[in-house]
Amino acid sequence: MTEKITVQSPMPGVFYRRPDPDEELFATEGDSVEEGDVIGLVGVMKNFHDITAEQPGTIAQFFVDNEAEVDAGEDLVEIEISE
């Protein structure tokens, strides 16, 4: 059985999947990530906080769309853990 973890928003704000509107996405479903890789941002009043992979693995799915409003503790991304 594959172990999965869910990365949650640490605060309310707007979730961004790319560093700038005309740049590539940080990560997409199926991408491999290492612990500490930036997979999104949460923006609050022009301050941006990195959302990082907590463990190495593969992005299974994003639960929210780019530029969606999120609440603290809301599920953002599911990662299948590498063994």
Q: What is the pLDDT of residue 1?
A: 63
Q: What is the pLDDT of residue 65?
A: 94
Residue range(s) defining the domain that contains residue 41: 4-81
Please give the tally of structural domains in the chain.
1
pLDDT at 2 over 90: no
Q: What is the pLDDT of residue 3?
A: 93
pLDDT tens digit string along 6-46? 999 999 999 999 998 889 999 999 999 999 999 999 999 88
CATH code, domain with 50: 2.40.50.100
DSSP 83: -
pLDDT tens digit string along 38-73? 999 999 988 999 999 999 999 999 999 999 999 999
